[in-house]
């Protein structure tokens, strides 16, 4: 009887989160970078190298939203739970912009050629870790729904801890791409390192 009674309660809980007053504003904020990029593409406002500009912008927005996702739990414990309540949408934004980043790479740099992709994977380590990070994001995006959360139960949380593997891969990808200009890459690396360190038992005093 207790398990039957829990289902409506959980349903109402997730319904409240989705229909909260900040759901649509946050959705618009996560969509705004894409809309700006789309306008820049259509109006030819991406500068002399549009492909590189798109690669940089989509990759950086994926990285920014990843930082926000990892910030959600600490922020909720510091008295600001908004990010934590909408972390699913923020996580999907990470996957969306990472997928755009990969699509631009596939279209412009390798022309959807499996042969060129194999060559890139063997010669460029930043491509390997970038693709690996996207592959790890794929099951997280696929199982982000309430239905999958109920089906996987305690395994859902374990699966979504893959984000802690994705973060270091993204840092390596960014640092290898930065080459001589590593200022921004080091800044994001420091942010992600701090957010991952916060989750260790030594810092938090207990395992979450």
Residue 10 binned pLDDT confidence (cut-offs 50, 70, 90): very low
Mean pLDDT computed over 32-51: 94
Q: 85 — alpha (psi -120 to 50), left (phi > 0) or beta?
A: alpha
Q: Which percentage of the chain shows pLDDT scores above 70?
A: 86
37 has a pLDDT exceeding 80: yes
The CA distance from 19 to 97, in Å, is 24
Q: Using pLDDT thresholds of 50, 70 and 90, give the confidence band for residue 203.
A: low
Confidence (pLDDT) at 185: 87
The residue-averaged pLDDT of 111-116 equals: 92
Look up the domain containing 176 and give its range. Answer: 2-204
- Residue 13, pLDDT score: 41
Q: Which position has the higher pLDDT, 2 or 86?
A: 86
The model's pLDDT over 188-202, given as tens digits with 9 standing for 90+, comes to 999 999 999 888 866
Q: How many domains does the chain have?
A: 1
Q: In sequence order, which ranges of 19-113 are alpha helices (DSSP H)?
A: 23-42, 50-77, 82-85, 87-104
In 3D space, the residue among 154, 92, 165 whose CA is nearest the CA of residue 129 turns out to be 165
Place 17 in a pLDDT band, splitting at 50, 70 and 90: very low
Whether 112 has a pLDDT exceeding 50, the answer reads yes
**Mean pLDDT estimate for the chain:** 86
Q: What is residue 65's three-state secondary structure?
A: helix
**Is the predicted pLDDT of residue 56 greater than 60, yes or no?**
yes
Whether the predicted pLDDT of 204 surpasses 70: no
Environment class of 176 (CB within 10 Å of its CB; exposed 0-12, middle 13-18, buried 19+): middle
Do the beta carbons of residue 117 and residue 110 sit within 8 Å?
yes
Cβ-based neighbours of 99, under 8 Å, separated by 6 or more:
134
**Overall average pLDDT of the 67-78 stretch:** 92
Other beta carbons less than 10 A from residue 133's beta carbon: 25
**pLDDT for res 2:** 40
- In this prediction, residue 135 has a pLDDT band, given cuts at 50, 70 and 90, of very high
- Is the pLDDT at 205 greater than 70, yes or no? no
Residues 178 and 187 sit within 8 Å (Cβ to Cβ): no
Percent of the chain with pLDDT over 90: 62
Q: Among all chains, which residue has been given the structure tokens 């492909």?
A: 51
pLDDT of 16 above 90: no
């Amino acid at each position: 009887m207790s398990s039957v009674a829990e289902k409506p309660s959980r349903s109402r809980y997730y319904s409240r989160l989705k229909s909260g007053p900040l759901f649509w504003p946050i959705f618009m904020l996560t969509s705004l970078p894409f809309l700006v990029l789309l306008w820049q593409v259509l109006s030819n406002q991406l500068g002399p190298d549009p492909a590189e500009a798109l690669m940089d912008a989509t990759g950086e927005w994926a990285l920014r939203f990843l930082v926000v996702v990892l910030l959600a739990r600490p922020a909720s414990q510091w008295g600001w739970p908004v990010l934590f309540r909408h972390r699913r949408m923020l996580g999907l934004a990470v996957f969306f912009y990472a997928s755009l980043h990969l699509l631009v790479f596939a279209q412009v740099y390798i022309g959807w050629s499996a042969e060129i992709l194999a060559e890139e994977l063997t010669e460029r380590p930043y491509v390997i870790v970038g693709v690996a990070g996207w592959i790890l994001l794929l099951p997280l995006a696929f199982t982000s729904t309430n239905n999958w959360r109920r089906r996987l139960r305690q395994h859902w949380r374990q699966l979504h801890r893959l984000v802690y593997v994705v973060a270091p891969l993204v840092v390596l990808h960014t640092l290898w791409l930065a080459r001589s200009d590593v200022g921004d890459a080091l800044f994001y690396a420091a942010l992600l390192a701090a957010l991952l360190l916060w989750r260790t038992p030594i810092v938090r005093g207990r395992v979450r």
